[in-house]
Structure 1
Amino acid sequence: MNTHRRHSASRFFSTLCFLTALMVPGLSPSLAIAGGKPGVVIQVSENDPAKWNLALNNAGNLIQALGGPDKVDIEIVAYGPGLAMLKADSVVGERLGVAVSDGIHLSACHNTMRAKHVEQRDLYLGVDVVPAGVLEIMQRQQGGWAYIRP
């Protein structure tokens, strides 16, 4: 098995185990962060509606599995080519609106915005801008948030 397939299989298995543990009583890992609710950061760095739909499905499934949007903090961070899906004219725009109304935080990388000449007004309403997408993901992980990359 080549390195890419091995890495993808490992990532898939890790995500599957995490989600399974959330749904099986008695197996749930300690997800609370310093006495608060768990946090999950989802990376999307591809301009692919299928990846975005998968990320949005993962977020929605977590909300449902954990008992509602008030039980988990979820942030989807887009950078690189993935930024295109957060634009106001995105093909997944309708789903972004549902995500925002469900309490899912959508974050766009300012570095990518600057490189691609994208302004805040070009983004879907409700999208936040973070200084650097990779830094945002790193800081969330350091803060105890789970990391998912569909």
Structure 2
Amino acid sequence: MKVVVQVANDPEKGVNSVINLLREMDVGEVEVVFHQDAINAVLDPSLVGRLHPAKVVACRNSLRARGIDESTLPRGTVVVDAGVAEIVRRQAEGWIYLRV
């Protein structure tokens, strides 16, 4: 099972939901895409660290809109050009979509 999670608004609730998912289900891969108002969350290494082993993805468009330099992101954070496009790609590949 592969799950792509969209976090656009409340990062704390989103992170908690992903943690609950990881605890309760044996999922093969989880990718958490941060964009829009939630993009600042990727700057917090402790918050991002709580998502392990999920892959943390940041939207480059959202980073640019808020003047965030990609080099300031925690190690392991993956940057994609557009968060929404990443979500659509994953859905097209058969990933389960979850918006939190």
TM category (shorter chain) comes to: 0.7 to 0.9
Cross-structure match for 2:41: 85
- Is 1:58 equivalent to 2:17 in the alignment? yes
Q: How does 1:1-150 map to 2 (within 5 A)?
A: 38-46=1-9, 51-67=10-26, 71-87=27-43, 90=44, 93-99=45-51, 102-150=52-100
Q: Flag the structure with higher strand content.
A: 2
Structure possessing the higher radius of gyration over alpha carbons: 1
Task: Detail structure 1 runs of 4+ shifted over 6 Å in the superposition.
Answer: none
Whether the aligned pair in 1 keeps the contact of 2:7 and 2:34 (CA below 8 Å) is: yes
Percent sequence identity is 30
1:113 corresponds to which letter in structure 2? L
What are the superposed Cα offsets for residues 57-79 of structure 1, whole Å, 9 maximum, x if unpaired?
22222222234xxx421111011
**Aligned equivalents of 1:60, 1:109: Cα separation in 2:** 21
What are the superposed Cα offsets for residues 6-57 of structure 1, whole Å, 9 maximum, x if unpaired?
xxxxxxxxxxxxxxxxxxxxxxxxxxxxxxxx111111112xxxx3232222
What are the superposed Cα offsets for residues 119-145 of structure 1, whole Å, 9 maximum, x if unpaired?
112222321101110000001111111
Number of aligned positions between the proteins = 100
Q: List runs of 5+ in structure 1 lacking aligned partners.
A: 1-37
**Aligned equivalents of 1:124, 1:43: Cα separation in 2:** 19
Is the partner of 2:50 in helix, strand or coil? helix
Is the partner of 1:64 in helix, strand or coil? helix
Q: List runs of 5+ in structure 2 lacking aligned partners.
A: none
CA RMSD in angstroms, aligned pairs only? 1.6
